[in-house]
A and B are shown apart, each in its own frame.
Chain A
Amino acid sequence: MNIIVCIKQVPETAEIRIDEKTNTLVREGVPAIINPFDTYALEEGIRIREKCGGGVTVLTMGPPQAEQALREAIAMGVDSGVLLSDKAFAGSDTLATSYALSRAIRQMGRFDLVICGKQAIDGDTAQVGPGIAEMLGIPFIAYVRKIEEIREGYIRAERLMETGYQIIEMSLPSLITVVKEINEPRLPSLRGMLKAKKTNISVWDVEKLGGDTGRFGLDGSPTQVIRIFTPEPRKGGEILQGAVEEQVAALIERLKETKLV
């Protein structure tokens, strides 16, 4: 089974702090990591290969340093990596990103399954997975929390919804996005890390992808960010004092005043 896992290198959002004086992001020293949801996608790809045979290719788009994310994926057990990197890709919104990734997947030849994380923790859009599926013209299931069965030409999976789940089947080739519940990602092995050092990462530019040059990067992005601002930071409030009875009574009074209960 040929599996392609799409990942994104993101800043570790949890490490971002707000400078309370200037109300701006403090970005210095924040490490770049593989988007956490994508680690579940990588793990699932590796597990399917272990069961069904075949190969797993990891694909990302980003600046040259995103190569590091691909090497980390290879250290986990992925076979090969492709980096889409070109100044022409800068400023891509989700539509232009989906276009570039779908062009790259077409170039890779025959594949059975594309796996993406549910969303990235920097943009939180969850739009690129379904966007790629649409551009490739393949069926798609979002929020997969369990693959019940996968074999040549067939997959059956559970899709997590707000109030439960659905069991869905479709034919391959197709695309799924996965949630955290699906598995427990493995750590890189020593052998994997050695392999990651030696593996040659293919770097593809806009020319290699072909297609319509007007659909990449900023020019291929229908949406534009016109303003970025930092929300007012939330301030700590009142610590209710006294014995438990007094604390709870005070809390109930406060909640009543809000008229929300």
Chain B
Amino acid sequence: MGIKVITEKCTGCELCIKSCPYGAIEVVEKIAVIGDNCNLCGACVEACPKGAILITREKSQRKIPEGYSGVWVFAEQWDGEVAPVVYELLGEGKKLADKLGAELSAVLLGETIEQSAHELISHGADTVYLVEGPALKDFNDDPYTQVLAELILEYKPEIVLCGATSVGRSFMPKVATRLKTGLTADCTGLEIEEKRKLLLQTRPAFGGNIMATIICPENRPQMATVRHKVMAQAKRDETHRGKIIRKNFDGKLTSRTKILKEVQEREETANLAEADIIVSGGRGLGEAKKFGLIREFARELGAAVGASRATVDAGWIPYSHQVGQTGKTVKPKIYIACGISGAIQHLIGMQSSDIIVAINKDPDAPIFKVATYGIVGDLFEVIPEFISRIQKGHL
């Protein structure tokens, strides 16, 4: 196991140095030398034009576990309502299942939620595994982990997908760890490889500066959490038929964590991860109360409210609105940055939005480098003008 440079092939061209995200390569006397902080990520293998870098693994003794088939989608629900990302996963899951010639199933946990199971079937699920009980009403790590892990062991799906939501990213790692299998976080692309029928999982890393494609060749199931708003939602088809398999976990569920209270802090606006449009405010607002203008603008557009780190740190708006490296990564259809200069930490969190609109006084602000449409101007003039045109029915 390890990485090696085939010295006869290496020309000392240094392309590997440029490709290494860890800065682990040097060229000494025209030969690449790989240092201790190499993480075996393989970027240099890809970059080397001579094929001079090899990563070798010990010949695996493991066999691919047998009997695993089908694609599963974890159907996250809140107050009995299925999260929108689930319909995106059913749309994508159907494509994967068709390529594998396999079934698409959903797993639904909650208190009394049979109605939602039919909704999942109308969106393409051939089977819904339904587990109801008071312990499953709201998300709680322990019972959710226990139920999903046991269902997977019993029914052996080949692929398990879940939204990269707070819920998915909290308990899926526990499920994967319990099953000793791989989990790829926050995927933006899924495909089936032709030859071995493996799931190709593509995701951003290093703040979106690089993309990595990841496989889980020898362990089952292959598990991934998937980012919102990337995959197309499954179309609703009431004629689609599927079956519901009820499982009973009464008396078997335990939890070491107890949820004492749930507090909704949702403003009148939608949540950032699910929003089609986000209006974000930055330092250019000048003071806390000016966020009222951003809120009004968002309301008119039916948008969610985002914020730059500077405004959150200044206490103008709660942290849950922060977009960027230490806040949230978002990918709305339209992102409108108002008075945000566009520090790289902010861009990391929003640069994969479909359309970016920037409104800023400074024509040299870095935000204009990524903006689809830019307006160099005073946001206190531009936004009211925009709002008045919406109110007049221009949009």
Contacts and interface: CB of A to CB of B under 8 A. Distances in A.
B374 A239 contact: yes
A106 interface: no
B207 A121 contact: yes
Main secondary structure of the interface of A (DSSP, over half): mixed
B260 A156 contact: yes
A91 B40 contact: yes
B326 A36 contact: yes
B69 interface: no
Interface stretch (A45-53, A75-83, A196-204, A227-235): A227-235
A237 B372 contact: yes
Interface string A186-224: 000000000000000000000000000000011101111
B31 interface: no
A219 B58 contact: yes
A165 to B, nearest CB: 5
A12 to B, nearest CB: 10
Interface residues of B, number: 121
Interface in B322-351: 322, 325-327, 329, 333-334, 343-345, 348, 351
A179 B166 CA distance: 12
Contact of A98 (B36, B177, B357, B376): B177
Contact of A36 (B182, B325, B343, B344): B325
B19 A25 contact: yes
B40 A223 contact: no
Interface in A20-65: 22, 24-28, 30, 36-37, 62-65
B333 to A, nearest CB: 5
Contact of B185 (A127, A135, A163, A255): A127
B47 interface: yes
A28 B218 CA distance: 36
A141 B257 contact: yes
Contacts of A217: 1
B209 interface: yes
Contact of A26 (B18, B24, B213, B257): B18
B186 A225 contact: no
A260 B40 CA distance: 42
Cβ-closest 9 pairs across A and B: A91-B40, A222-B182, A63-B37, A223-B182, A139-B256, A130-B173, A181-B319, A125-B185, A222-B219
13 contacts: A13-B206, A14-B207, A25-B210, A28-B17, A95-B180, A134-B174, A163-B265, A164-B264, A223-B215, A228-B212, A236-B371, A244-B377, A261-B301
Interface of B: 1-2, 15, 17-24, 35-43, 46-47, 55, 57-58, 78, 138, 141-142, 145, 165-167, 169-171, 173-174, 176-178, 180-186, 200, 204-219, 256-266, 271-274, 276-277, 301, 318-320, 322, 325-327, 329, 333-334, 343-345, 348, 351, 354-357, 363, 368-378, 381-382, 385-386, 389, 394-395
